[in-house]
Structure 1
Amino acid sequence: MTEAAGSGIDDDHEWVEGLAWAYGLVSPDPAERAAALDRHARARMEVEAAYDRLHKGRLSRLWPARMRAYRRACGRCFPGALWSGSEYAYGEISTWPRLPLALLFLEWEARYPQEWTEHAKAWGAKQALIRDLAATDHDQYLRAKLVDLVDLAVQRTYRCKDREYVRVARAVDGDELRDRLHRAQRSENPAAQLHAGYVLWLLDRPEIPNTRHVWCTWLSGTLT
């Protein structure tokens, strides 16, 4: 993540309130989720239109206003809602007013990966958020949300940047997380069995890096 020019914490809070509808993106109610997806799709269309206006013609006097309009449009949908007009610096995500949006963005990808991929795919943003969340301070609320995200991630087929969740697991290691990982390991879901087993193995060996080579070596040993 990079620090962007913004107008302060109050604007960040207002931004979050203005995107309250986006929680419908993770709703278990298909109708509510469909409505949120439709609104998000319309917001993405506004971004495309604002981008086209930004590069239409060569009138430099119109550029500042068009750029402001483009940034506002980006901030009304993901992933732009995370950064547009926000003041953020690495390491401060736990106190960042847009933290709820960051968690929502990751939960959306975890619960409804195909919809996230179609409407808001941003692997770099996913990676940056996970890394920052692993490195920050964790109060009870944030710890619980991160345990949920790790639990969701281990129970599915691997997706791009999912390996970053090992950082989070190590950061919030505890009884609750391990209980969930053990349940996943005992489940009938083959992906959950493998992923949960691997994460538990790494939690017991904090000195071992989470690399592709380590994963392949562990996997080979597990299957023999």
Structure 2
Amino acid sequence: MVERDTREHDPRDLAPDNAGSTARGPAGRREKNKEDKLRRIKEAARELFVSKGFDDTTIRQIATQAEVGLGTVFIYAANKRDLLFLIANEGLDEVAGAAAAAVDPDAALIDNLLAVFRPHYAFFQRQPELSRLVLREMTFYDSGAQAGSFRKTREALIELLGEAVRLAAERREIAIDETAAFVGWTIFCIYQVELRRWLSDGTVDLESGLDRLRRALLLLIYGLGAPPRRGG
């Protein structure tokens, strides 16, 4: 059942920026108040999604635990799934930046790929229960502002993998008949399967997860006709 926005907003959430008796003071307090409410909403959602399960948690329960009006939650997320992605998106920009910076034009392909995937594995390791929910919901759900942001991050990762493949092909480390972009997509598919398998493991050990991913990626690289190299 879809929960509707009943507009139980705190009036301060929607107050115009020029409201109040001074130019900057009230606006600054309103921003701080909004940030605090958003923090409480995310903390309540995170706790309830883990303790009660995503399917059994309602937006109303989240609003109650966060001590905000139901309509206030809808300011930040269109629905429950969007709220899940709002939580998941925290820190993803930083992860994407670290992954992009890790690509070395002179490094072996396997080294570049693992350097890209390491910060992603570390990110999902921080909150494995929520990570499982996010990956499950992302399979067939891609609407909403927050899900869209998550999808854009995913697309940027695929492009980065294609760039790593292109660099390796230019150095003649690998020989490919397909485009670098398609090979990058194939690598991403392997990563997605391995990530889900790893998160389903009770230990969620970072190094063991990356080692199994490394084995799968080496199988693909050797299948492309690449000879064994350092880092492999």
TM-score (norm 2): 0.27
How high is the TM-score relative to the length of structure 1? 0.27
Structure exhibiting the larger radius of gyration computed from Cα positions: 2
